[in-house]
Amino acid sequence: MPKGTTKRRPVTRAALLEAALAVFAEHGFQAATIEQVCTRAGYTRGAFYSNFGSKEELFLALFDQHSQEILDRLSELADALPAGDFTLAEFAGRIARIDPAERDWYLVSTEFTLLAIRDPQAGWVLARHDARLRAELARGLTAQLERVGLRLTVDAEELARLLIAIREGGLAQSYVEPDVLPPGELERRFLGTILGAVTEAAGPAAS
């Protein structure tokens, strides 16, 4: 493969992902076409198929990209809170922040989730991407709590399931009634209490 093609590939892929999110949010995942994504990105179908095998594969790449962005942002927000100033309420407030651009992703991911519920094969694939996200979220949450001398009294990945359910359920209500329930409000109000109920002071390490 020519070196120029190799160097261009990440740029092409990023442009296709950006275009896909916009097109999927505007038209819906199932109604959107690969041609629309290519036109929005300014690339040919050949460029698309050199990066992705299908529209579903494109969505899953978006899923993984979005998951990593969320994990990185949560880590940065939590790390910026000095251990001496750490409280569960402050920690909850920081990780409850919702980027305004999240609405587009919510529309796209919700539609694909409905597809995955109807289609066992799509459900099987999505479940594995979900599992990787939960595992990373569980590890990050455990590390942040350990940093301030706390440990979980429940399974970290089960807690991650609950936190994702609260986030996604809260956003569904917020996007329907934004004036009544601003995005992230449920987490800000209740996440500190939930974390307080499932954590305890870490004892001294065994010698």
**3-state SS track over the chain:** CCHHHHHHHHHHHHHHHHHHHHHHHHHCCCCCCHHHHHHHHCCCHHHHHCCCCCHHHHHHHHHHHHHHHHHHHHHHHHHCCCHHHCCHHHHHHHHCCCCCCHHHHHHHHHHHHHHHHHCHHHHHHHHHHHHHHHHHHHHHHHHHHHHCCEEECCCHHHHHHHHHHHHHHHHHHHHHCCCCCCCCHHHHHHHHHHHHHCEEECCCCCC
Confidence grade of residue 83 (pLDDT, cut at 50, 70, 90): confident
Confidence grade of residue 123 (pLDDT, cut at 50, 70, 90): very high
More confident residue, 67 or 75: 67
pLDDT of residue 116: 96
Residues of the chain with CATH 1.10.357.10: 54-201
pLDDT of residue 82: 79
pTM: 0.88
Q: What pLDDT, in 10s, does the model give residues 16-33? A: 999 999 999 999 999 999
Residue 57 pLDDT > 80: yes
What average pLDDT does the segment 60-77 reach?
92
Residues of the chain with CATH 1.10.10.60: 1-53
Tell me which architecture the domain covering 1-53 has in CATH.
Orthogonal Bundle (1.10)
Residue 5 pLDDT > 70: no
Selected from 3.40.50.300, 3.40.50.1100, 1.10.357.10, 2.40.50.140, the CATH number assigned to the domain covering 54-201 reads: 1.10.357.10
Confidence grade of residue 3 (pLDDT, cut at 50, 70, 90): very low
Residue 206 pLDDT > 60: no
